[in-house]
Chains A and B, each alone.
Chain A
């Protein structure tokens, strides 16, 4: 048996149709991918704009491991007294000024430690509030 008869007998037509379909499907997918490649590259270039691609360091702050010495605790207590005299939420720059004129030791770095410990937290409107729980945890 030769020629077309042999092809028909051994499912040659079906096999060739399947083969052609596979090749054409592959070519279509390839051309679609190439036509969209600029979008993929744009996405990659601006990956920082997409939340799931952002580096973890940008996304959330590492938990701060702070140790408060007795001096640090005393300083935190002095800051708490100053904050009690202020509005809630209070102005951070006013607090720093009050700490300076009150003669607190190293007011800048002490204030910085309180912020890092979360004892002083932002209200996201430019003012700050005192976090009692964090104060108890670190400084009481």
Chain B
């Protein structure tokens, strides 16, 4: 599990979480090896997993031909970047071999529902991350509650 925690600490979204929260988050993560060309999420399908990039490069294919490329360890591919009301709204494709930490969407939502402080911290850093890196995503409608993801 220490490997997963190190990845979480590398990203901007989870690095400021308290050690106990990191442990909780780490306990719901699964390590997946990914191969170039592999599709991790397909638009319109039921949203089952969110992802944290460990290594490699991911392409997020969005509406209107827009795309985002994630290639830094700790990058989070989840919430409104990936799903809405339980369905994937974008597709995620691996551009090269690597590794992701996958977490079940329901587990993640349960985790943030249980702990409002944790949810607030994650949301704050998530919004900053989106504004800084993918402002065109942040400009889209933001769901009223975290539980619409």
Contacts and interface: CB of A to CB of B under 8 A. Distances in A.
- A and B interact physically: yes
Interface of A: 45-46, 48-49, 57-58, 91-94, 96, 106-109, 111-112, 115-116, 122, 124-128
Given A48-B15, A58-B12, A108 B65 contact: no
B96 A109 contact: yes
Contacts of B68: 126
A122 B62 CA distance: 14
Contacts of A91: 65-67
B57 interface: yes
Nearest to B95: A112
Contact of B65 (A94, A109, A122): A94
Interface in B17-63: 36-37, 57, 59, 61-62
Given A108-B94, A122-B69, A125-B136, A48 B16 contact: yes
Q: How many B residues touch the partner, as a band?
A: 20 to 34
Contacts, number: 69
A124 B135 contact: yes
Contact of A106 (B36, B65, B93): B36
A92 B67 contact: yes
Contacts of B135: 124-125
A91 B63 CA distance: 10
Interface string B1-19: 0000000001010011000
Contacts of A128: 67
Given A93-B59, A108-B36, A108-B94, A115 B136 contact: no
B57 A115 contact: yes
Contact of B69 (A45, A46, A115): A115
Nearest to B73: A57
B69 A126 contact: no
A92 B68 CA distance: 9
